[in-house]
Structures are given as C-alpha cells and as structure tokens.
Amino acid sequence: MHGGVKVYRGTAAAARNYLDADRSRADDYYLTEGTGIARRFVTRPDGPVVELASLTGDGYEAWVAGLDPETGQPRGRLRADASAVRFVEVVVNGPKSWSLAAELHPDVAAAYEAAQGRAAGQIIGWLGQHATTRVGPRGAQVAVPVEALEAVTVRHYTSRAGDPHRHLHLQLNARVFAAGKWRGLDTVAFRDSIAALNGIGHAAVACDPDFRAALTAHGYTLTAEGEIQQLARHVGAFSKRAAQISALLDRYEAQWRREHPGHEPGARLRRSWDARAWAEDRPDKVVPRSGAELRQRWLDELSALGYRDRDKARQLALELPGTLDRDAAAAEILARLGAARSAWNAADVRGQVEQLLARQNVVADPGVRGELAEDLTARVLAACVPLLKRAVPEHVRALSSGYVLEVEDEMVGRLAARAPDDELNVADDSPVVNTVNANHLDPGQRAAVAALVGDQPLVCVEGAAGAGKTTLLAAAREQLTRQGQQLLIVTPP
C-alpha cells in the first residue's frame, strides 16, 4: 500500500462524483447513480471495529455532510463554508501485479479482496486507538484522544484509465466524538500518521495467510518489494497505457473547466471522456462495455505480452513469528529510520515495522502479526532519543537516535569551523527584525529570518520538529523578495 492522504473539502454531492471519477466506466461500481454501496464502520479505543448498516448513495451523502445517516441529525456544529473538511482518505491498494493475478484466477481475486477488507479493518482499528482532536480555546488547544470515529470503504476494480487495479477507498469522517460531543478530526495528526497507515495496509495483505496461500497455489512468489515475481515484467505495459489514457482524461477535464468555471463535471460527462480516451488511444479496438469485456481484454494483452500461466503450486517459505530475531529487527528498523530522516514519530516507527514484517514473509493471522508489530514498535521506541524534554502529541516528529544525533553534532561542528570568528547577534530591535511580520512569528523566528536575509556568508538555524522552521523560511522568502532577491532551497534526496 502506498500513497498519501486526501483531505476532502467540498459538497457531499460532489463526493459521490469524486468516487465515481476514480474508476473506469466499465467498473462495476456506480455510487454516484445510487446503485453502489459504501460499507460503514465505527470504532472506539477500547473496542473492536464494528460494521454498521451499509450506505447507498443518499446515505453516503448525508454521512459526508456530517449528518447521522439514520436520523439526519447534524453531528455537532457543522461548518458550511467551502473550506470545511468532510473526510480524510487513504487508498488500500497493492502492487499492480496483485491485480493482474486476481484477473487471471478467481480464487486469488476472492482472497485478495477479503485481505483488503481485513486490512482496512486493521487500519480503522489502529486509528481508533491513535486518532486525536483538539479541545480548548484558540491558541490554548490541547490534543485529546478520539472516543468514537466512523469510516466507510468503497471498492473499485479498475484504475481511472481502465487498468486492473483492485483497491478500496478508506474514508474517515471528519466528525469524531470526544470529550462529550462531536468535534472535528485533527487532520494534521492524521497526515503525520501516513507511514503507519501505509505500512499496516501493505503488511496486512502481503502477510495474509489466505491471500498468500492462493498465490502459492498458482506458483506465484513475492519479491522483497512485494511484486509477484512471475508477473512483474508485464506490469510496465499496463502502466504505460494507464499513463496515456490518464493524460488524455486530464486534458479533457482541464479544457472543460476552462470553459465552465465554477462547475463540477458529472458522472455521465466523465464516462464520455473515458470512452473518448479509449477510442483516441486505441482507435483500432472496441471500447469495453462491461467488466467481463474489460477483463478479457486484459487477459488478451497479457497473452500478447508473452505471459503463459504455468499454474504450478509452490511451497511457501515463511518466517514464523517466534523465530524472528526481534532485537536485530528493531536495530534494522532504527537504522532505516535514521537513513531516511533525522526525526520521526511513533507512526513512522510502526510503518517501518510493518514493512519489515512483509519483507521477512511473516505470514500470520492478523492478531499474531499485530502483537508482533506492537512489540517491535515498543522496542524501537525504547531505543529512540527524545528531542524535546516536554510531552508532545504522538504525531509530532520528536524522536531520533543516538547515531543521528552524533552525525548532526559532527555537521554542526564542521559548520562552526567555517563560521566567522565574531558571533552573530541579531538584536530584537534591529531594523531587519522589525520589518518581519510579528503577527505569526515569535521573537526567535524573527531573529532567525533577520539572520537569513542578512549579509553573513554562513548562517545555521537549528530547531526541533514543530519549532516553526518552515514558517520562518516562508517569511525569509517574503523578505528576500522585497529586497529583489530569490530564495533557493535544496534538500538531500
């Protein structure tokens, strides 16, 4: 599972169009027209994930709007402006070779879809234990755990471009219950949890016993990256076609929006774009009119690419949970975290843990894998070095390692050796500091901006995660623009 977080702002009716636009016109799902169903779930920190009555199109619209879909009552005080957050979303997906295998074998398809459903449940359960909201007056808010949250899943079978791509849209409602009433979800904390969400989603499917048994029954093996080895070389051809059709769809939509400012394209219009893109990209082939026709086209293309289904069962090589060297695994995870960034949070740790379990082929029931993941996460967290002495919300990236801090100290020492002999001292009342906008910067940030836009050959600004470095860089850019200069930023890959 990969991808980021989508924060949806807009009307509830447009949300139905948004889901409809994600799939090919030959997909079996038509939520916009009211014939589709969204599965609905609720979870609490001290309880399991419970599935509620499914939602049809109208019920889904009410749910997105912040209403109780059963009673129609609003959940707390709802914002009506265009910036109001309705839900946040991640997509439960997998490598494209998994979808190709699902099209080749009905039993793989059934196992894959069931594993994705279980993965979504595990993600929802993790969010139920870690999601937060904010309570208190503006400027003095504190993070508190969510007591109840709801989510829906909507299944699609194809990509927007009509390629095989079985995936679930997992949408978490922005209205959550905490501290005695319905409130707004902390979307910043949700975004900062993406590593855990992606990691859990990937490992939950890759390590699912039923899914892996179905793959091995047909002779399939997974690479360390999770691709099916026997199908990986054929993925590129489907991706290339997807890129062609997606580019055409984007072009049609951009032209339509220029001609119809302030309007949203409907489902029928989008399906006409799909048909046009298929015809323009492959004028020698008939546009599929059903999922069965589309599936047959995929199978024909695989055959034309040289794929021959040998269908020979293999023995699945597993790493049993009890045989995994947990201390060595924790050390590897800590090293990977330090190689990627200098600071991280607990969600980043959990994401790396889940990725390791998938690479190590730890195929086990969700409960067993979950306990192992929690244990490894706890071991890594115990080995981390906190960057702040005070308590911070869990999503703040305020953890590091001794090795990372040693490297940072060495870098600071080298920078200090290059600095001028005289110490840079930016007074609070200096002319440059006074020109910096004081409404959104504290004194330390204003002094840092003044130093950055000054005439020193080298300035080093240090700050922990969440200290406001990005904010002061934006202010520095504004200051330099006024001076007729340009700010250039580079970062390591």
Going residue by residue through the chain, which has 493 residues, state the pLDDT in tens, using 9 for 90 and above.
Answer: 777 899 999 888 888 777 766 655 445 443 444 445 789 999 998 889 999 999 888 899 999 999 999 999 999 999 888 788 999 999 999 999 999 999 999 999 999 999 999 999 999 999 999 999 999 887 778 899 999 999 999 888 877 667 788 999 999 999 999 999 999 999 999 999 999 999 999 999 999 999 999 999 999 999 988 999 999 888 877 766 667 777 888 899 999 999 998 888 877 787 788 778 766 755 444 455 566 777 887 888 888 888 877 677 766 666 677 788 999 999 999 999 999 888 999 999 999 999 999 999 999 999 999 999 999 999 999 999 999 888 888 999 999 999 999 988 898 888 878 776 655 555 555 555 555 555 577 878 888 888 888 877 788 887 766 678 888 888 888 888 888 888 888 776 5
Residue 272: what pLDDT?
81
Residues 213 and 158 in one domain: yes
Residues 425 and 483 in one domain: yes
Residue 34: what pLDDT?
42
Pairing mode of beta strands 399-400, 132-135: unpaired
Residue 286: what pLDDT?
45
Residue 422: what pLDDT?
59
Residue 246: what pLDDT?
77
Structural tokens at position 154: 């909507």
CA 61, 64, 65, 67 torsion-angle sign: positive
Domain termination site, one of 258, 278, 304: 304
Would residue 309 count as lying in a domain? no
CA angle, 287 then 289 then 290, to 5°: 130
Would residue 410 count as lying in a domain? no
Residues 157 and 210 in one domain: yes
Residue 36: what pLDDT?
59
Would residue 339 count as lying in a domain? yes
Residues 262 and 178 in one domain: yes
Give the range of the structural domain holding residue 449, as residue numbers without chain letter.
Answer: 421-493
Residues 66 and 27 in one domain: yes
How would DSSP label each residue in 354-385?
HHHHHHTT----HHHHHHHHHHHHHHHHHH-E
Would residue 282 count as lying in a domain? yes
Instruction: State how many domains the chain has.
Output: 3
Domain termination site, one of 366, 400, 434: 400
Residues 366 and 289 in one domain: no
Would residue 412 count as lying in a domain? no
Residues 257 and 135 in one domain: yes
Would residue 315 count as lying in a domain? no
Residues 475 and 343 in one domain: no
Residue 370: what pLDDT?
94
Residues 450 and 385 in one domain: no
Would residue 316 count as lying in a domain? no
Domain termination site, one of 341, 367, 400: 400
Residues 291 and 432 in one domain: no
How would DSSP label each residue in 100-167?
HHHHH-HHHHHHHHHHHHHHHHHHHHHHHHH-EEEESSTTS-EEEE-SBEEEEEEEEEE-TTS-EEEE
Would residue 406 count as lying in a domain? no
Residues 125 and 172 in one domain: yes
Residues 431 and 395 in one domain: no
